[in-house]
Amino acid sequence: MSMTIITKVGRRQTHSIFGDIVLFLFLALLGAFMLLPFIYAISQSLKPIEELFVFPPKFFVRNPTIDNFLNLFQRTNNMWVPFERYIVNSLLITVIGTVGGVLFAAMAAFPLAKFVFPGSRKYEFVIILSLLFVFEVTYVPQYITLSFLRLIDTPWALILPAMANTLGLYLMKQFMSQLPDSLLEAASVDGASTAKQFWSIVMPNVKPAWITATILIFQALWNRDTSTYIFTEQLKNLPAVFRQISSTNTIATVGIGAAAAVLLMIPPVVVFLFSQSRMLETMAYSGMKG
């Protein structure tokens, strides 16, 4: 009887190890496949002109060069608006929009997760429903609203919509629901106000959630082209000016566009690498029912 048990345990353990190996190989292949666009973008940015138009096209660069980056910097230096101005505009829009978006999402998620009030279920339903729509669906009504508020051709046309980030709100609401109510009740008995509970107890315990929201909002704002909302050249950001440079109908702009895409990828990738563990933790908990 003991031999049978040992055999069964051994079989289960062997099956588990085999399953782990298969799962690891599958995830490794999936990760490599997802890296292909990044590798291709870097390869394109390093290709000389003669390799960009070869047929059939080659995935990897044969004779790497940094001429595309040099041409990009040369064109930015020749513009009548200093290139540093575009960098400052991008940083201001991204930082203000990200901080505001995270704070508003956290403050909205807290009452939805820990309080019951008239219409709370309906608000939650509307938030979940909004996740079904991509940005393009709401572009026209959003533009009309911003025009009515006289925010077109100002940085606030991008900053204010970013503060209404329903995905970040949903993630933080799900994470806050995991916090035990007894923790907040004990703080209330000790005399802590609702604001004190939010800043001293809730926010430190949902750090992975708001870090994830920071990454998502940062990435969306950093790569957002301001040309559809901002028409004054001094107020445009980096994606807008890079699009203008690479949109001219010349052969050299193909490589310049690839170089610009690589430069725009760097900040979001760096931010993600420094906080990837927190983001994965949020994704693991966000689907749990509190």
Return the CATH number at 278: 1.10.3720.10
Q: Using pLDDT thresholds of 50, 70 and 90, give the confidence band for residue 271.
A: confident
Range in 115-124, 129-138, 254-263, 269-278 with the lowest mean pLDDT:
269-278
Residue 108 sits in the same domain as residue 204? yes
**290 or 198, higher pLDDT:** 198
* Band of pLDDT at residue 39, cut at 50, 70 and 90: confident
How many percent of the chain have pLDDT more than 90? 10
For 203-214, how does the pLDDT look when each residue is reduced to its tens digit (9 = 90+)? 888 888 888 888
Instruction: Please indicate, yes or no, if residue 140 is contained in any of the structural domains.
Output: yes
pLDDT over 70 percentage in the chain: 88
- Structural domain span for residue 12: 2-45
Co-location of 39 and 165 in the same domain:
no
What is the reported pLDDT for 60? 83
Give yes or no: residues 214 and 84 share one domain. Answer: yes
Winning range, highest mean pLDDT, from 140-154, 222-236, 269-283: 140-154
Looking at the structure, tell me whether residues 167 and 120 fall in a common domain. yes
pLDDT of residue 228: 83
Q: Do the domain assignments include residue 60?
A: no
Q: Is residue 161 part of a domain?
A: yes
For residues 124 and 241, membership in a common domain is answered with yes
pLDDT score of 290 more than 80: no
Q: Is residue 59 part of a domain?
A: no
The number of domains in the chain is 2
- Give domain status of residue 55, yes or no: no
Average pLDDT, the chain: 82
Q: Are residues 37 and 91 both part of a single domain? A: no
**pLDDT (mean) for 171-190:** 86
Residue 76: is its pLDDT beyond 60? Answer: yes
Q: Tell me the C-alpha distance between 231 and 81, whole Å.
A: 14
Residue 130 lies in a domain: yes
Provide the pLDDT confidence category of residue 103 given band limits of 50, 70 and 90: very high
pLDDT of residue 97: 92
